[in-house]
Amino acid sequence: MQWRNSAVRYGLVSVSLHWLVAIAVFGLFALGFWMVGLSYYSGWYQTAPNIHKSIGILLFMVMAARLLWRWISPPPPALSEHGRLTRIASKLGHSFLYLGLFVLMTSGYLISTADGRGISVFGLFEVPASVTSIPNQGDVAGLIHEYLAWAIVIFAVLHGLAALKHHFIDRDRTLLRIFGR
């Protein structure tokens, strides 16, 4: 498999970044869903949020790299058998996922830094709290984070189902391309 995208398929870098982001998003969602139910006396009460924040910061970095890579190595064009509506839906869907993830991660950052403390990323480095003056910052960002997380996960499931529809019903190469084939 080639490193860069070609006119017919995604390259190794794009495929790897796609699946890494997908695993991280669903893992973070599961961790977030689980950790909000923890009691103060749970041994995971502080550990789980720290893991969630650290992975979230790393995911932000991966998404930034993914955007840069997309500029360096543009994705293959839509398949010729895709109609106009499918092409538009694909562009809008991918745009929502990219924009939604960046807004989701920004809201997570705003929740975590609302008290003025930075975010330690697995003890390796710290992301400083640069925005702390928004009224009700933690609460507003928390609502955005919660609802957007649900929206992105539901939309990502629909995205996967659409790929399966293309593969099994339409019998086109859409799904195979994101595996680099």
Domains contained in the chain, CATH given: 12-177 (1.20.950)
Q: Is 126 helix (H, G, I), strand (E, B) or coil?
A: strand
What is the per-residue pLDDT for 64? 98
For residue 33, give Cα distances in angstroms to 20, 39, 163: 20, 13, 26
Model confidence, pTM: 0.93
Name, in order, each residue with C-beta under 8 angstroms of 88's C-beta and a sequence gap of 6 or more: none
What is the per-residue pLDDT for 181? 74
What is the per-residue pLDDT for 11? 95
Q: What is the mean pLDDT of the chain?
A: 95
Residues of the chain with pLDDT under 50: none
Tens-place pLDDT, residues 118-141? 999 999 999 999 999 899 999 999
- Give the ranges where the chain is alpha helix by DSSP (H): 12-35, 47-72, 84-112, 137-168, 174-177
